[in-house]
Structure 1
Amino acid sequence: MEKLTLLTGLADGCKAYLYDCDGTLADNMGAHRESYVRVAASKGASIDGAIIDELAGWPAVKVIEEINRRYGTSFDPEEFKEAKYQLFLEEYIEHTRPVDFVVEHLKAHAGKIKIGVVSGSRRESVEKTLKILGIYDLVEVMVCSGETQQGKPWPEPFLKAAQLLDVAPEDCMVFEDGDAGVQAAIAAGMKWVRIDKL
């Protein structure tokens, strides 16, 4: 409850709350990390899962391109992305747990403040995750992977969400667990809170 109170205090005076999904609302970054590692292993490469945490919030294709750059691999980004996505959906998504204090914060403000979710994951995955967490119907706007020209750390996803909610960027508060998301929020001129689950 202390964390929930802290979030509420930090976000006073805003007209819209924009939440990242994976790692912020959903405690599922371990599952995403393992999915990447398993797909790489199936293709004969061993990667350190820490790179997935480092690049949290990046679109999957950009993550895979960075893996290729660092590891000297030649994965086809689209093929790898699809394999990782299917593995995550088939074996991990149903076990998604909430980041309780963030989910409770969203629930406490739904209907009082405009609510958006801005994610680097594709829409189907985000929708299913929000349904598993029981908050899908509380979210007014979603901006997901591929729905803007540039993803996080560029500001476009957050700016699009603000536009769809008809709220000025400076009146939005972003809740993020990843560096890319924080950078995007700053670039968008929005207030932000870094979510630390420890």
Structure 2
Amino acid sequence: MKLDKHPEAEALIFDLDGTLSDSLPVHIATWHKVCAHYNCTFNEGIIEEMTGMPTIRFAERVIADNNLQGIDPEEIVRMKQETFWESANLLRPHVPVVDLVMKYHGKIPLAVGTGASRRSAMVQLETLNLTHYFDAIVTADDVTRHKPEPETFLKCAELIKVKPEKCQVLEDGVLGMEAAKTAGMYLIDVRPFTYQ
């Protein structure tokens, strides 16, 4: 089984974390560092459940799970993001997904639709040397309704001027897959290709 686009798809939209970027180990290590600072624990199980949501939702969950009193979630987000950016050199690409970017670059429109902040997305794409391959990049900062809502992917389609039903999304997160289906787009679950 080889990773490729649907024959009817006229554009590809890529999730970033866990799809283009093998960032999960770096995210997990970063969350453990942040939680160590607050003398609490990070439940790694929430990663799969919440992948695709903005960092503030994770921070709120950490506060709730650890019953942290008087801690500002924005403060946790700041520390998490700064720690992640400092560790960007540890990021690696998911080769089968990036190979697809290379195959279709210049042939059909390509976009990134991510739940990461604009700065985190750009840090990752620049670290992996992928920024220039995409015609549009939609981040958590560009939408008001995040995955599982379809707004991220619909905005990608609008920016690359391709009808949603002619776009194909590549995703590893359950919430992102739900968003792609709601948007009426073709979908590839990249997990069988990236977790080999």
For this structure pair, what is the TM-score category when the shorter chain's length is used for normalisation?
Answer: over 0.9
TM-score for both structures, normalised by structure 1: 0.91
TM-score for both structures, normalised by structure 2: 0.92
Gaps of 5+ in 1: none
Q: Decide whether the 8 Å contact of 1:33 with 1:53 is kept in 2.
A: no
Letter in 2 for 1:145: A
CA distance in 2, matches of 1:190, 1:71: 38
- Which string of whole-angstrom CA distances, capped at 9 and with x for unpartnered residues, describes residues 12-66 of structure 1? 2211100011110011111112211211221111122221233111111112223
Q: Name the % identity.
A: 32
CA-CA distance at 1:72 after TM superposition: 2.7
Which structure 2 residues correspond to residues 1-198 of structure 1 after superposition, within 5 A?
A: 2=1, 6-8=2-4, 10-74=5-69, 75-90=71-86, 92-196=87-191, 197-198=194-195
Q: Decide whether the 8 Å contact of 1:34 with 1:49 is kept in 2.
A: no
CA-CA distance at 1:131 after TM superposition: 2.1
CA distance in 2, matches of 1:51, 1:67: 9
Q: Secondary structure at the match of 1:150?
A: coil
Q: Which moved more, 1:34-43 or 1:72-81?
A: 72-81
CA-CA distance at 1:179 after TM superposition: 0.8
- Which string of whole-angstrom CA distances, capped at 9 and with x for unpartnered residues, describes residues 63-121 of structure 1? 2223333333344221111100000111x211211100000111100111100001111
Matched pairs, number: 192
Gaps of 5+ in 2: none
Q: Which runs of 4+ in 1 moved over 4 A?
A: none
Q: Decide whether the 8 Å contact of 2:26 with 2:90 is kept in 1.
A: no
Q: Decide whether the 8 Å contact of 1:26 with 1:99 is kept in 2.
A: yes
